[in-house]
Every structure is written in structure tokens, then in C-alpha cells.
Structure 1
Amino acid sequence: MFAIIETGGKQYRVEEGLELNVDLLKADAGDALSIDSVLLVDKDGDTKIGAPYVEGAKVECEVLGHLRGEKVVVFHKLSKKDSRKTQGHRQDYTKLKVNSITA
């Protein structure tokens, strides 16, 4: 059984027991989290597609913690101007573990 959920403007394919990193959520480590924005649920070939979300479907998750992604270096250079600018960015993530999928 798997589901496709939407969180943080992105879509993820999840199964029970899966651990995944999503954009930062306002939740503490150890909290239980319920995601209601389920786009698709498939159970043994029986597929339910939402318009836009499947009614009554939700994914129960547990927040394992928060982490930061790899550093991305942004370098701007204007040729013939002797102008340079270096900037870095690290994205914040929340690590989730999927406990159950209900349809």
C-alpha cells in the first residue's frame, strides 16, 4: 500500500515504515503528525485518485527531528566590472517516519 501526499508544495510517494525529509514543519521531535492532503492511495491495485484530495484519507507520521541540507554556494560575477559576490544557503528539513496510511 502506498500513497502520494503533498506537503511544502512538493509531492512525495510514501509507504508504511518509510523515512523521508520534507520542508521544515512546525512540530517538535517525537510529535505525531497527521497529513490530510493525500492525492492518491493505492491498496493492492485498488487505486483512489482525489480531486484534488482523497476524502477521508490521511497519513499518520512521527517527527524524528530537524536537520539541514547540504550547503549550496551561489557565486555572482560581473565580467569587466571587478565585482564578485559569494553567498551560501542551507535548506532546513524535517525528518518524518510514516506509521500508517488510512483510506
Structure 2
Amino acid sequence: MFAVIETGGKQYKVQKDDVIFVEKLALEKDSTVQFPVLAIVGEDGAKVGAPYLDGATVTGKVLKEGKGKKITVFTYKAKKNEKRKMGHRQPYTQVQIAEINA
């Protein structure tokens, strides 16, 4: 059984005990979070919401928060002697899926 959830403007396919990295959530470590469900696929077939399934949630436990790997952002305008080099680290929250409530 797996579910498709949405958080941070992105969709994730999750199963029980999966560990996913989502956009940063304003939650403490070891707290629980519930995600809305877009679709559930199980032994009895697929259920798809419009846009969400009523009464279906996915519960997860926050493991940690952190920042991703650094990427280099370089902006450049030709013939203007204008350039700028910056770095960026995207914040994330690591969540372990505890259960899928259909």
C-alpha cells in the first residue's frame, strides 16, 4: 500500500516507514505531522481524491531539520561587466512516515 501526499508544493509517493526530505516545516524534533492525501493505492485498487481524499491522512514523525548541499548561483550580464557569485543551501525537514490512514 502506498499513498501520494502533497507538501511544500511538491508531491511524494510514500509507504509506511519511508524517510523523506520535505520543504522546511515549522515543527520541533520528534513531533508528529499529518499530510493531506491525493491518492491511495492498495490491494483493493486505487482511490483518487479531487483534489484530496476525505478522511485519509498520512502521519509522520519529524526526525531532524537541516540544510541541503550547497549550490553555486552565478548571475552574469554580458557586455556590462556585471557578475555575482552566490551560494545557497535549501532548508529541509526529514520525516519518517509512521502510518497511512485510509
TM category (shorter chain) comes to over 0.9
Q: Distance in 2 between matches of 1:60 and 1:89?
A: 30
Q: Distance in 2 between matches of 1:15 and 1:5?
A: 10
Which residue of 2 is the match for residue 48 of structure 1?
A: 47
Which residue of 1 is the match for residue 19 of structure 2?
A: 19
The Cα shift of 1:74 comes to 1.0
**Cα RMSD over matched residues?**
1.0
Q: Deviations over 1:56-78 (max 9, x none)?
A: 10001000010111111111222
Q: Distance in 1 between matches of 2:76 and 2:39?
A: 45
Higher alpha-carbon deviation: 11-20 or 79-88: 79-88
**Following TM superposition, where does structure 1 have runs of at least 4 consecutive aligned residues deviating by more than 4 angstroms?**
none
Q: Percent identity?
A: 39
Which residue of 1 is the match for residue 8 of structure 2?
A: 8
Q: Distance in 2 between matches of 1:43 and 1:80?
A: 59
Q: Distance in 1 between matches of 2:95 and 2:74?
A: 33
Q: Distance in 1 between matches of 2:78 and 2:39?
A: 49
Aligned residues: 102
AA at the equivalent of 1:17 = D
Q: Distance in 1 between matches of 2:82 and 2:93?
A: 37
Which residue of 1 is the match for residue 60 of structure 2?
A: 61
| Unmatched tracts of structure 2, length 5 or more | none
The Cα shift of 1:86 comes to 0.7
Which residue of 2 is the match for residue 85 of structure 1?
A: 84
| Unmatched tracts of structure 1, length 5 or more | none
Q: TM-score, normalised by structure 2?
A: 0.94
The Cα shift of 1:33 comes to 1.2
Q: Is 1:30 equivalent to 2:30 in the alignment?
A: yes
